[in-house]
A and B are shown apart, each in its own frame.
Chain A
Amino acid sequence: MIPSQVPGPLEPVREKRQHRRFRERFPVTLVASNGFASSTVVPGAAKDYDAAGACVQTRRPLGVGDAVRVRLHLPRAISEFFRGLPCELGARVSALRRQKAPGAPPYEVVVRWDKPLGEMVNAVIASYQRKIGALVGLTMLAVVWAKWASLDFFWYAPFFYVYSLTLSAYLLSRFLISWRHRPPPPSSYTPTVSIIISVRNEEAAIGRTVDTCYRTDYPDGLREVIVVDDGSTDGTAAVLRGLQRKYAGLKLSSLPPGGKRQAMAEGVRKATGEIIIFVDSDTFLFPDALRNIVRGFEDPMLGASAGYTEVENANTNALTGLQEVRYFVSYRLLKSSESHFDCVTCCPGCLSAYRRRYVLDVLEPWLKQRFLGAPATFGDDRSLTNYILRKYRVIYNDTAVASTLVPETWGHYMRQQVRWKKSWLRETLIACGFMYKKHPIAALSFYSASLFSLMSPAMAGRVVYLSFDGDNAIFLFYMLGLILIGLLQSLYFLYQRPSPHWLLGMLWMASALLVTGPQTYYALLTVRKNHWGTR
């Protein structure tokens, strides 16, 4: 399902004003104080706003010069990530207009912010983050406490406790390391970029994907967009032709069905830019995504950079909401930590940039990659990252943002997860051969995480077995640990996103334990089976 609203910047209202003014309607409540313990509450709707003030349509008038508190939920244009955060801003009524349009509220109250809007909003966000941050800190302490208390039982099941303690240390270290992660600093470096979109049967989304590529804030002469159709059988080709008419510079290429990797390789061959940017056909770039993702490429040792991906359809159902938390944790926690040591193990296909020269060097072996005698046809992004990571730095840049569509049904989601797990198994095995040469903490984290993923379903089974055997202490500590880790990740999500989806993080933990965890073994058994899985 494609959302009806197109994300991106709202159209600024071009008027002779000091600040850019945005037209976005959202509910606002004006609260005018009438003295001690008395106030007038006037509901209304914002008509437009800028950094200095806002125009609010109301059904009741307010006196010019009155001090008011403006209660609102942050609109998207003010803060993309903190949209919906309730806040109360100080303002003063500067003008009152009467409206004569039929059906419209009779008054327009123009308010002037007490302080610049950005300053006030930042203060609100900082206050919010302080509170949630305290909860995150408390939960981390609770995790440490739980592990400390459980040490009494270490010798009861030493293997289990080595696993449990190392896993906890790994997860807590992710928080600490990702806390220190910083994206590359902004610079004037603007290389030529080639956006490569490989598409197959994506007629619903490809148009918008290409649109967002062209609407990015990047010089037109330095940007090219290449779409490679991998033998689509729906109306994708027609949509692409329409897009070519719309965007004259759009390069189209059509291949017989050969897999995504072939399509991506075709795009690389056609690309002329210094940096190539892979974008999925159901991914929509934010306006500053290109400008930000090329940050850091001044360093010739930087081979690839992964951008951050939001979940576009997060509000569709619980599953998509759950994936929003999953994506967030995966990027903001795990990739951030990996990036601290320049060892990001997977630049996702949604949005990632590579230095073309380095990709061309590994293009042939990448295309011909085989695993256990079968051609490797999925996990292209992780595979390409591995090739680059052997020699070069690979980072994560959370200032480059896109949004993507995630599976909306459990069946679709499960198939996707199996595909990902298969590629994870293959590429992890390959990466084990060179990761030890990287930074020791990165290497240790990588090997530990790999083992955890393999062992976690078995450990869960062992704990359940012990609980049936009458030994409840381990089971209780295990469940406590799971709940705390789930809560920690959910709270961390809440820290950055004031979204009700944060609670779904707990559901994600449960699904990871019960569903996607055991899938690892299924993926292990069927690793040689090659098909797209999601389409």
Chain B
Amino acid sequence: MNGRFLRIWALILAGSCLFGLWISFGRAFVRQRFFAPLPLPEASRTHASFVAVLLPRVSVKPRRYAISADQLGELLGGLTAAGYNSIGLDDVEQFYARGRGLPPKALLIAFAQDDPRGLEAADEAMSRLRLRAVAFVGGSAAVKGVERRRYLSRHAVNQMRRSGTWDFGRAWRKLAQGTQGGSGGSGAGVRAVLDQDGGRAPSPGPGTLRFISSESGLNEVTTDPRSLKILALRPERTPEENARIVRMSWPRATEFAEDFKGAGLRPDWVAGWGVVSAGKGRLAILPTPRQSGAGVFLRGTETWRDMVVEFALKKVQREFWAYARYDEAAGRFIRVGARDGAWYVEQKVGPNNLVSMLARAPIREGGLPARVRLVLKGGTAIVHVDGRMLFGRALRVHPGVSRGRLLLGVYDARSASALGVVTGVRAAPLREQWLTFNSSAGGFDEALLEPLREAAVQARAVSPPWIRVGRHGGVSVVESQGLLVRSLAGFYGCRLVPTAELPEGSLAIPAAAGGPQRLAAELVAAVRDLGAAGLNIRLRAGELRHAENVAFLKRLRADFQVRRWELWTTVDGAAGPEPALARAVDGVLVPSRRTHAGFEVLESVQRPPDALAAAGARSGTGGGR
């Protein structure tokens, strides 16, 4: 063979090697370095909720029905900067199986696509930000495991797995083709199933997570791991809007107010059905020509229990309702609204129960527009119209109507004739706000009664200073203004938790009071005598530096928990949460700035983590935040 031929052979060989290298390292997800996601510190795993988001198809260049790689990077970068912690399937599995906590702002990022280019683009962004994600891929046959997918190569899947960034699940629609009559759509090794068909997928086997498309991606400890919710982000929205929607998926903890003066419906609202139009200072809700009703709900209210909802109803045709604690799956809600010239409050306690009326009052002449306020506080509903309490009493709400989203809706039996126009909405979860009185005040004059009633409407507890601890021991009970306070608490549905005031200047409370056992026994007896739901001990911030005080509170709380009483502490002069009290009391209150001559409002600043989870499961307030 001559030298020229040898040179050509060498060139061909080199070209083949270059192609081999290119196809191996330049494409198909073969990476020379792996970027493991940032580990989450164990100490940060103190939360009990996460949001799952399903990202749209990713395209390298901007395309319709897809989010571009740049937009994805922007969105993920925004979420990272906002402090979200991405979690993987193992975090979710351990959360539900073993109760392992989640980090704050836990976010499960998922993609439902097999397209290698899209996942490659997503992978770049994920690796850059060191986030984790789940890829839900279609499988052609359940028995062959997740590698038998349509487009992604097995090699690519392995490489993505090795990076630590990606977990894999199955998209149910494609899976269904290969699992007719199978074992619920979970093949060997499938850890999660995505059901984008509204829960029609067969229930997966034990240990398999199932994600169902939902308007909300929030999942809590009480959520069934086989019906987890996942929020699908829409590609036509800007990264900022999508990031905002992710943020709004967590329960709202702050007040939402909207006067509809901006252009269009803000992403806070989700039009459930019918036509919802916002702008020019009003929100119009009306059905489409073939519908009889229409509705729009406020994002981030799915877990709300106690709340204040206020809306200005300008116009109504047939029926307009403001639903609260609306749980579509459980068929439960409470609603206030206008129908046939009257205000109604109604509730529905289950899917098989009829709507029952709680109260009715006629709308007075010229009663519209009207400003309606609904306060839900535990088992109590208080309705005000134009500042006046409707029905003259607080209404009892069925305990089953526990939590759910806030929704505005219209209805008329005739198609397309219902209408509701609202000019403003304000909604806020009811804060842990207590009402207490100045021990020096002898009574309430008429001028004080109105603000007192207003404060009582939104107060969860009334905490009169009825218990006093003497300097040398001894607990005295003085039930001043007893009738008024008890009436106020009963009328507005507030718990009665009296305040125990300690002698001034006693830094070590039990010692000053004659020993911890004696003091505890006397406090228990006082609470029992008053028939209260607990005790609120008022301290000064400096007193918390004494370990004896904290130890005493812990011991007292243990006594109270046996009796199902609460132990709270009001700390005067505290700048914020007191770490020393984290597990010593059920909650810490501080005086708010809204003080009046005869009473003051206390606000919660701290609750212990275990109480947080328990309360989240029990009442739905503040879970995960």
Contacts and interface: CB of A to CB of B under 8 A. Distances in A.
Interface of A: 151-156, 436-437, 439-441, 444, 469-473
Contacts of B5: 437, 439-440
A444 B12 contact: yes
B150 A154 contact: no
Given A152-B28, A469-B140, A440 B12 contact: yes
Contact of B1 (A152, A437, A473): A437
B150 A155 contact: no
Contacts of A440: 5, 8-9, 12
B614 to A, nearest CB: 48
A437 B140 CA distance: 48
B151 A439 contact: no
A156 B153 contact: yes
A152 B154 contact: no
A155 B153 contact: yes
A473 B8 contact: no
Contact of B155 (A155, A471, A472): A155
B171 interface: no
Contact of B27 (A151, A441, A472): A151
Across the A-B interface, the 9 shortest Cβ-Cβ residue pairs? A470-B140, A155-B153, A155-B155, A156-B153, A440-B8, A155-B28, A440-B9, A152-B116, A440-B5
12 contacts: A153-B116, A153-B151, A154-B28, A155-B30, A155-B154, A440-B8, A440-B12, A441-B12, A444-B12, A470-B141, A470-B177, A472-B150
B289 interface: no
A137 B307 CA distance: 70
Contacts of A437: 1, 5
Contacts of A439: 5, 8
Interface of B: 1, 5, 8-9, 12, 23, 27-28, 30, 116-117, 140-141, 148, 150-156, 177-178
Given A439-B5, A441-B8, A155 B156 contact: yes
B140 A471 contact: yes
Given A470-B141, A473-B151, A154 B23 contact: yes
Contact of A470 (B27, B30, B116, B150): B150
Contact of A156 (B8, B154, B177): B154
A155 B149 CA distance: 13
Given A436-B1, A470-B178, 18 more contacts: A151-B23, A152-B116, A153-B151, A153-B153, A154-B27, A155-B28, A155-B30, A155-B156, A156-B152, A440-B12, A441-B8, A444-B12, A469-B140, A469-B141, A470-B177, A471-B150, A473-B150, A473-B151
Contacts of B155: 155-156
Contacts, number: 50
Nearest to A151: B27
A179 to B, nearest CB: 20
A158 B9 CA distance: 24
Contact of A152 (B12, B27, B30, B140): B27
B135 to A, nearest CB: 15
Main secondary structure of the interface of A (DSSP, over half): helix
Contacts of A436: 1
A482 B118 CA distance: 27
Contacts of B140: 469-471
Contacts of B178: 470
A470 B140 CA distance: 6
Contacts of A469: 140-141
B8 A152 contact: no
A317 B28 CA distance: 48
B456 to A, nearest CB: 66
Contact of B153 (A154, A441, A444, A472): A154
A492 B614 CA distance: 77
Nearest to A436: B1
Contacts of B30: 155
A472 B1 CA distance: 46
Contacts of B150: 470-473
Contacts of A441: 8, 12
Nearest to B178: A470
A470 B116 CA distance: 18
Contacts of A151: 23, 27
Nearest to A470: B140
B288 to A, nearest CB: 38
A147 to B, nearest CB: 12
B607 to A, nearest CB: 52
A310 B28 CA distance: 47
Contacts of A155: 28, 30, 153-156
B160 to A, nearest CB: 12
A158 to B, nearest CB: 8
Contacts of A444: 12
Which residue among A156, A439, A469 has the maximum number of chain B CB atoms within 10 Å of its CB? A156
Nearest to A149: B117
Contacts of A154: 23, 27-28, 153
A485 to B, nearest CB: 20
A23 B547 CA distance: 126
A470 B114 CA distance: 14
A469 B148 CA distance: 10
Interface centre among A155, A439, A440, A471 (most CB of B within 10 A): A155
Contacts of A156: 151-155
Nearest to B155: A155
A190 B27 CA distance: 59
B23 to A, nearest CB: 6
A487 to B, nearest CB: 26
A152 B150 CA distance: 12
A407 B183 CA distance: 58
Contacts of B177: 470
A431 to B, nearest CB: 16
Contacts of B12: 440-441, 444
B530 to A, nearest CB: 72
A437 B177 CA distance: 54
Nearest to A157: B153
A56 B30 CA distance: 73
A153 to B, nearest CB: 7
A534 to B, nearest CB: 39
A473 B116 CA distance: 12
Nearest to A469: B140
Contacts of B154: 155-156
Contacts of A473: 150-151
A268 to B, nearest CB: 32
A459 to B, nearest CB: 18
A8 B5 CA distance: 44
A151 B117 CA distance: 11
A154 B28 CA distance: 8
Contacts of B141: 469-470
A512 B108 CA distance: 52
A470 B9 CA distance: 41
A472 B141 CA distance: 13
Contacts of A471: 140, 150
A156 B23 CA distance: 12
B522 to A, nearest CB: 76
A375 to B, nearest CB: 33
